[in-house]
Chains A and B, each alone.
Chain A
């Protein structure tokens, strides 16, 4: 089975995220990049399915050249190969453009099973997996917290607001996994060494036959007009409990009309 796991490099949660004045795109240069945490679950799920059913795991990312670090991490966890799509014209791509590029890249990999994380932490919208399913015309098994493969049948528990739906489809499919689907492994020393010699292919937009003005800021379907920092909160009253903490808190809730 050809399994593709999609990972994105995102600024570390602790880093201050800033939009660049002018282009209103995320400043990716100044912040430290890490693998989007939920994508670790995607890589882990891909590896587990490979270990149980055979096949190969290819990592796919779209991002600036420094995303290679994130790709290497996924390779050191045990993936077999990687494809990185890098192009200056991709800066500022909206979800429509991102899904376009990923779908085209997945097309070159002849994937049976594509696994995504369910959301990115850098202002992600959690819709890229559904959009890729739409573009590829494949079954959308997203928001899964459990994935079961049985021959060419695949079943997932898809989280809904009230519980979950048990969804079934035949390969090829597109899956996204939520947190707690599994426990991502740490790269072993051996894995880190082995990753260095694993094949990493890079592609540009031209390689995927996509025009520069269809993606990036130029091809975006949305535009940010203005960004402002939320004024810091605080200045609240903090009391130390000496038997009357609850009463004081109740009085506060009363003044705010909650009780």
Chain B
């Protein structure tokens, strides 16, 4: 069966949900081989087995991950030696860069913002902020396909994963950019934005950073993540990393709750492919209501806390 490389997204061996989704899809398309770069394989192995990786190419040498582009060197070498039918990666900015460099080196093409892969590696992409759906193909070399989180549902299908250690001679260009320190921003304990099934977002209507506890409490009651509009991140009320929209993250959760967000086109670009959209806004004319499956015209400071109470009573966590 055709070998499909899946670049593993992980944090010291803690494998991200998107990778499990990609392994699941790769099983439909052929036989998945996980590509694991960096320290932590011992932690990751059981999950990769559970989700059916037939093989795992492992490069856990500390230095590979400490150069920008090191992962691209590994991926390019593997594509040349294993000759896979396709390479699947997440569509995060860093993963896209890795895929692009490896694609260039192997004379291949890459496609990003993919939401589905059909037979013959035809990719469905959401472009122009989700306003247009295109079906595209790679016409040169090996298809490198960067897929958005939440595009597929992950299902376990245990397999025996054969480990194959890979050694790579880093290129000089890659060795020129060294990571001298790695800073993790404080974890909230909430799901990651691009992986979350439920997201509650706050906008300028929140009025202050402190008031974001209102959306945090609703998100926690629903088991979701918290996002923000650019107006809120520009004001310094919430971290830029959690901004949703054209110049922030693109998300596609099962449920998106927009609180005090008007629904500007640049915000919509990052969330309009969400399965269900709900909005709370005091202005009945706010464009966000055009997208909403359900909307409440009202003051967020009364509606949201009351909703949080309702959620807690109906589904206590």
Contacts and interface: CB of A to CB of B under 8 A. Distances in A.
Contact of A123 (B11, B122, B127): B127
A241 B297 contact: yes
B81 interface: no
B172 interface: yes
Contacts of A221: 103, 108-110, 138-141
B295 A162 contact: no
A225 B181 contact: no
B92 interface: yes
Interface string A123-165: 1011100110111111111110100000000010111111111
B183 A164 contact: yes
B136 A222 contact: yes
13 contacts: A24-B134, A130-B100, A145-B240, A163-B185, A166-B181, A167-B179, A224-B136, A230-B131, A233-B290, A238-B284, A239-B294, A249-B303, A253-B278
A221 B180 CA distance: 35
Contacts of A19: 132, 134
A165 B309 CA distance: 40
A133 B247 contact: no
A160 B294 contact: no
Interface residues of B, number: 93
B22 interface: no
Nearest to A174: B177
A190 interface: no
Nearest to A229: B132
B303 A241 contact: yes
Contact of A256 (B96, B276, B310): B276
A136 B171 CA distance: 12
Contacts of B104: 96, 99, 131, 134-135
A14 interface: yes
A179 B141 CA distance: 34
Interface of B: 9, 11, 68-69, 72, 92-94, 96-97, 99-101, 103-105, 108-113, 122, 126-128, 130-141, 171-174, 176-185, 192, 198, 222, 233-234, 240-241, 246-247, 254-255, 265-266, 272-273, 276-278, 280, 284, 289-299, 302-304, 306-307, 309-311, 314-315
B131 A142 contact: no
Interface in A16-35: 17, 19, 24
B100 A127 contact: yes
Interface residues of A, number: 82
B184 A163 contact: yes
Nearest to A225: B135
A149 to B, nearest CB: 15
A259 B246 CA distance: 30
A259 B315 contact: yes
B294 A140 contact: no
A140 B94 contact: no
Contact of B314 (A138, A161, A167, A259): A259
Given A13-B246, A246-B303, A259-B314, A137 B172 contact: yes
A224 B246 contact: no
A118 interface: yes
B109 A222 contact: yes
B310 A125 contact: no
User: Which of A118, A122, A168, A222 counts the most chain B CB atoms within 10 A?
Assistant: A222
